[in-house]
Amino acid sequence: MVVLDGKETSAKIRQELALKVKELKAQGRKVPHLAAILVGEDGASRTYVNAKVRDCEEVGFGSTLIKLPAETTEAELLKAIGKLNHDEDIDGYIVQLPLPKHIDETKILLAVDPRKDVDGFHPQNVGKMTLNLPTYIPATPQGIVELLRRYEVPTEGKNCVVIGRSNIVGSPMSILLSQHNYPGNCTVTLCHSRTRDLEEICRNADIIVAALGRPGFVTADMVKEGACVIDVGITRIDDSSKKSGFRLLGDVDFDAVAPKCSFITPVPGGVGPMTRAALMMNTMKVTELED
């Protein structure tokens, strides 16, 4: 059983990107500049955005963080997005989700300039991804694909089950793994809350991608011997014994499932760090797509 170490792999990616930044500087070219908009004081979002700022500093990217209060109106947020769309110094930016309930997330994502949409959520970029054209791929699916590639996980001809159909993870993951690429060439089954006989479907899977946000949902009896299991879920559970006051659980019962697996990601330290690394990769891709 091999643990797919996202923490170690993401560190290597940041080192590689730092070298590319040095090359850009040596050539007199512009260094990518990533911006982020954070609306409100959601703890997980704030932690995540601050980590992205640190990643930019480590890699050598320019970085801008725009903090807006929770009571920011939709019109005010759209105005901030418009400024970033027209700011030639900003190469890419993200609007951190989730947004306050009074703001229409779809309307906001549609307002982002597709050329600066390093989150890969704009329909134009989703369409390009579906057609296997050069574009920005959503960070979590791209991070997973990169982890599979670097660990040389066999995917061709494999039966893959993706649990969860979100536009951020499940749906793009199913598309990427079915494409004529490596990693890819899988036969993919996309499952969700209405799927019947989910346990039996999972038992026939060579690869399981669990992305539904339910701690410990995937149990040992759902996984066949030798399967590769990718745990995307991450849920905070109160735990007074921890200094932070909480612990993180994935969608997979790791201790029970791991002994049956050929490859498995841990939580934390698996997919999470790769999501951030993929965002850095997308930001560097700005220079490639402009060439």
- Active-site residues: which are they? 52, 96, 119
User: Are 169 and 211 contacting, i.e. CB atoms less than 8 angstroms apart?
Assistant: yes
What would the two tokens of residue 136 be?
């920005």
Angle of helix 139-150 relative to helix 170-178, nearest 10 degrees, comes to 40
Distant-in-sequence contacts of 200-207, Cβ < 8 A, 24+ apart? 201/161, 202/161, 202/163, 204/159, 204/161, 205/159, 205/160, 205/161, 206/158, 206/159, 206/160, 207/153, 207/155, 207/158, 207/159, 207/160, 207/161, 207/177
The rounded distance, in Å, linking the Cα atoms of 264 and 257 is 9
Candidates 119, 214, 209, 227; CA nearest to 171 is 209
